[in-house]
Amino acid sequence: MSRDHDMMQRALDLARLAAEAGEVPVGAVVCDSETGTVLGEGRNQPIATHDPTAHAEIAAIRAACEAAGNYRLTGATLYVTLEPCAMCAGAISFARIGRLVFAAADEKGGAVLNGPRFFEQPTCHWRPEIVQDETSAPEAATLLREFFRARRLT
């Protein structure tokens, strides 16, 4: 699907901006699943904002909810460059996002395919359709590896 490719490229561009700002390179875009209209986007900014919840997904969801005038985004797709953590998975569920597309898996901090597998828990009341974009996963993983490699060298 070319929309998936285009939106993930946009999320990767946001991840690069995060890296340039010294933040972990993760980017996210929320769009209307029918029209492709971008409702919100975000990049990791916990350092700049002094906010541990300032993950890319949270920023994108907040902006999308504001644009939609609703805290529910059932007709939306969230594109993110890294498998969401438990906090972000919870926000995805609470926002009722219809579809989640992520690139790189996160064995240490992920909560979708890894860790607690948030959406498989009986206490989870909303489960999006989940797609791992394996085409974009290598690029997203490389951004993260290079970012952390540079941090270890300084």
In the sheet with 76-82, reading across from the earlier edge strand, the strands are: 38-43, 27-32, 76-82, 99-104, 129-132
Percentage of the chain modeled with pLDDT above 90: 96
Residue 154 included in any domain = no
Q: What is the pLDDT of residues 77-108, one digit of tens each?
A: 999 999 999 999 999 999 999 999 999 999 99
88 assigned binding-site residue: yes
55 is in an annotated binding site: yes
pLDDT tens track for 68-77 = 999 999 999 9
Domain membership of residue 48 as a residue range = 3-146
Please state, rounded to an integer, the average pLDDT across all residues of the chain.
Answer: 96
Domain with 15 in it: what CATH number?
A: 3.40.140.10
The pLDDT of 57-63, averaged and rounded, is 98
For residue 27, is it within any domain? yes
Per the residue annotation, which of 23, 41, 57, 83 is the catalytic one?
57
**45: closest CA among 17, 23, 25?**
23
Chain centre to alpha carbon of residue 54: 12
Count how many domains the chain has.
Answer: 1
Residue 50, marked binder: no
Task: State yes or no: is 57 an active-site residue.
Answer: yes
- CA neighbours closer than 13 Å in the CB half-sphere of residue 34: 3
Residue 31 lies in a domain: yes
* Angstrom distance (rounded) from CA 94 to CA 113: 19
pTM above 0.85, yes or no: yes
> pLDDT tens digits for 29-58?
999 999 999 999 999 999 999 999 999 999
152 vs 16, which has greater pLDDT?
A: 16
Residue 152 maps to a domain = no
State yes or no: pLDDT of 8 exceeds 70.
yes
pLDDT of residue 152: 81
Query: Does residue 17 belong to any structural domain of this protein?
Result: yes
Residue 149, pLDDT > 70, answer yes
